[in-house]
Amino acid sequence: MSTDNMFSSDEMQLVTFTLGQENFGIDIMNVQEIIRIPSITAVPQAPSYVEGVTNLRGEILPVLDTRIKFGMEKMARNVSSRVIVVDVGGKKAGLSVDAVSEVLRVESGRIEATPAVVSGVDMGSVAGVVKVDDGQRLVMILEAGSLCNLDADACNETNAVKAGSGSRSKEAVEKKLSEVQLVSFLLGPEEFALEIESVREIIRYPDIVKVPNMPAYIKGVISLRDNLMPIIDMRIKLNTGNDDITDSTRVVVIDVDNARIGLVVDRVYEVARIPQDTIFAPPQALTGENGDRLKGIARVEGGKRIIMLLDPHDIMTREELEDMGTLENAAAPGMAEEEEGLRDGLDEEQMVVFKLAEEQYGVRITQVQEINRLAKVTKVPRAPRFVEGVINLRGDVIPVIDLRKRFEIDCKDYTEFTRVIVSDINNKKVGIIVDEVLEVLRIPRQLLENAPDILSDQQRQSFMDGIANLENRMIMMLNLENILVEKEWQKLQEMNRTEKPARPSRAGKLKKQGRGEKLDKSTDS
């Protein structure tokens, strides 16, 4: 709204609040509600005054630190701190303030022109001032629309280059066809894997409805969107360890003969491509039930690492699948309402969810080629600050970007949980270093919302692909194609042409953990 329209009536009501020693007011017509300070999810590379987003009764609300917006010193919150939810033309934002004072009626004739500056406050969003309490107090009237919108003179750099046309070379295609993509996981001290085509998604260990008179390896049943799904503990079924539940425990969801089942594993290890010629038939000495379920044995890292490949069709016998049908029928009456309420979730997006600092991010699985542990990284001279270096991925030298540095988040040492998400962007492989990969998740499209315009300028907004607004958390969706702007992609291409990389990076400090060691819950997410 314009300043003229704002003061056109004879009287206006102001919701007044304080920031330090200063008093401000907002037209009550723009104030939707006033709430206590909520849980706020930080957004990378948003303007400094944007604290992040919060969930306001199912709606994504950006929250601004009004102190930072006005160039004041940041202050710790207390019992008086509040968030004023303003609505400007249907767009909402929250303004965090020190305290809300009162609702004040003022005559338009008492409103004076905006001074050039008051106590160092940037007056760009101040529409006027009014003196109250017999002139003892000055209230600055804020124009909510100006306060909550981004500056128009933001950087005009072009978005990252979209995927170009053209096909891969014949050699690259043949190489890809000769590889197998696996999801590997730990069962006790041993590493097993399934081909990624067999894996529907990977979820955290859920609350399970137990069903009596079932084998010990059948934990029970859950309702996963449109399906009742039995949960099979592979550690018990294959007798590879105990059935302890930790923060690392995951459920790998697969489809077998029109039946969807969840497999409990100790930890999902990685998503990787391995050459077809490293997979061998199981030795004849492996006999018995467990041996029958092996599709092959992969020898990687020069034979130092053995991965046992499972055939999903051999995990459960036909009789066991029939028993699971009985299991579903037994559990259905108690879960019918939940199942019915989730049937509208068929229109979904599959996401790889990872952790960076204390926030959760997601990338569409179509942009993820594989997920690997962090290997030795070699530094490259004159590389951009956020480029950690290059790694050797089965003969391909690919650059790796430290996402903490790219988003200007405080750095920390890499750990055994650190992962590299490998993406193929513009026909170029790039690795993205993240703190930890949490799960592969299917999210109903109706829960994916556009990021509020206020979160970032045009240059930085391009990598935001929306926000998944789930019941108990928010996941910020990233578009890896736009993670860099054009000139940064050019630097990356120049770096690829460097003949000989220099010295190893701090990846050498990576804490080592044997695959047979027990995971420490205190260090896992």
300 vs 231, higher pLDDT: 231
For the cut 50, the answer to whether the pLDDT of residue 314 exceeds it is: yes
Find the mean pLDDT for residues 83-106.
Answer: 88
Find the mean pLDDT for residues 74-79.
Answer: 88
The torsion of the CA quartet 120, 126, 128, 129, rounded to 10 degrees, works out to: -40
Given a contact cutoff of 8 angstroms between Cβ atoms, the answer to whether 283 and 304 are in contact is no
Which residues lie closer than 8 Å to 446 by C-beta, 6 or more apart? Answer: 344, 347
> What tens digit of pLDDT does each residue of 266-304 get?
988 888 888 888 888 876 655 455 445 678 888 887 777
Find the mean pLDDT for residues 446-457.
Answer: 76
H helices of 14-65, in order, are: none
Spatial CA neighbour of 509 closest among 396, 418, 391: 418
For the cut 60, the answer to whether the pLDDT of residue 509 exceeds it is: no
Q: Report if pTM > 0.85.
A: no
Please list the residues that pair with 433 across neighbouring strands.
402, 420
Q: How far is CA 168 from CA 103, 165, 194, 366, 428, in A?
A: 65, 10, 27, 17, 10
For the cut 50, the answer to whether the pLDDT of residue 162 exceeds it is: no
Q: What is the H or E stretch that residue 325 is in? A: helix 318-341
Average of per-residue pLDDT values in the chain: 76
Which residues lie closer than 8 Å to 213 by C-beta, 6 or more apart? Answer: none
b/e code 425-446 from CB counts within 10 Å (16+ = b): beeebbbbbbbbbbbbbbbbee
CA 255 to CA 324: how far, in whole Å? Answer: 13
513 vs 452, higher pLDDT: 452
For the cut 80, the answer to whether the pLDDT of residue 514 exceeds it is: no
Given a contact cutoff of 8 angstroms between Cβ atoms, the answer to whether 510 and 416 are in contact is yes
Q: What is the pLDDT of residue 165?
A: 38
For the cut 90, the answer to whether the pLDDT of residue 96 exceeds it is: yes
Please list the residues that pair with 424 across neighbouring strands.
429
CA 415 to CA 41: how far, in whole Å? Answer: 24
CATH fold of the domain at 348-512: OB fold (Dihydrolipoamide Acetyltransferase, E2P) (2.40.50)
H helices of 93-239, in order, are: 144-148, 170-177, 234-237
Q: What is the pLDDT of residue 381?
A: 80
Range in 31-35, 135-139, 251-255, 283-287 with the lowest mean pLDDT: 283-287
Under CATH, which number does the domain 3-148 receive?
2.40.50.180
Q: Residue 381 has which token pair?
A: 């001279």
For the cut 70, the answer to whether the pLDDT of residue 435 exceeds it is: yes
Q: What is the pLDDT of residue 434?
A: 93
- Superfamily in which the 170-345 domain is placed by CATH: CheA-289, Domain 4 (2.40.50.180)
CA 43 to CA 50: how far, in whole Å? Answer: 8
Structure letter (DSSP) for residue 405: H
Given a contact cutoff of 8 angstroms between Cβ atoms, the answer to whether 456 and 479 are in contact is no
Q: Residue 22 has which token pair?
A: 């200063």
In the sheet with 448-449, reading across from the earlier edge strand, the strands are: 218-224, 227-233, 259-265, 250-256, 199-204, 436-444, 348-356, 359-364, 474-478, 464-469, 448-449
Find the mean pLDDT for residues 220-243.
Answer: 84
> What tens digit of pLDDT does each residue of 365-392 get?
888 888 888 888 888 887 888 888 888 8
Range from 54-63, 459-468, 499-508 that averages highest in pLDDT:
54-63
Given a contact cutoff of 8 angstroms between Cβ atoms, the answer to whether 485 and 159 are in contact is yes
Q: What is the pLDDT of residue 175?
A: 54
Under the banding of pLDDT at 50, 70 and 90, the label for residue 458 is: low
CA 262 to CA 265: how far, in whole Å? Answer: 10
Given a contact cutoff of 8 angstroms between Cβ atoms, the answer to whether 276 and 162 are in contact is no
CA 413 to CA 416: how far, in whole Å? Answer: 10
Find the mean pLDDT for residues 386-414.
Answer: 87
Under the banding of pLDDT at 50, 70 and 90, the label for residue 419 is: very high
Q: How far is CA 5 from CA 12, 144, 241, in A?
A: 11, 13, 72
Q: What is the pLDDT of residue 147?
A: 79
Q: What is the pLDDT of residue 513?
A: 46
Find the mean pLDDT for residues 388-415.
Answer: 87
For the cut 70, the answer to whether the pLDDT of residue 333 exceeds it is: no
Under the banding of pLDDT at 50, 70 and 90, the label for residue 325 is: low
Structure letter (DSSP) for residue 412: -
Q: What is the pLDDT of residue 154?
A: 33
Q: Domain extents for the chain?
A: 3-148, 170-345, 348-512
342 vs 352, higher pLDDT: 352
Topology alike, domains 3-148 and 348-512: yes
Q: What is the pLDDT of residue 170?
A: 53
For the cut 70, the answer to whether the pLDDT of residue 463 exceeds it is: yes
Find the mean pLDDT for residues 173-199.
Answer: 81
Given a contact cutoff of 8 angstroms between Cβ atoms, the answer to whether 361 and 354 are in contact is yes
Range in 120-129, 274-283, 431-440 with the lowest mean pLDDT: 120-129
The proportion of the chain whose per-residue pLDDT surpasses 70, expressed as a percent, equals: 74
Q: What is the pLDDT of residue 264?
A: 93
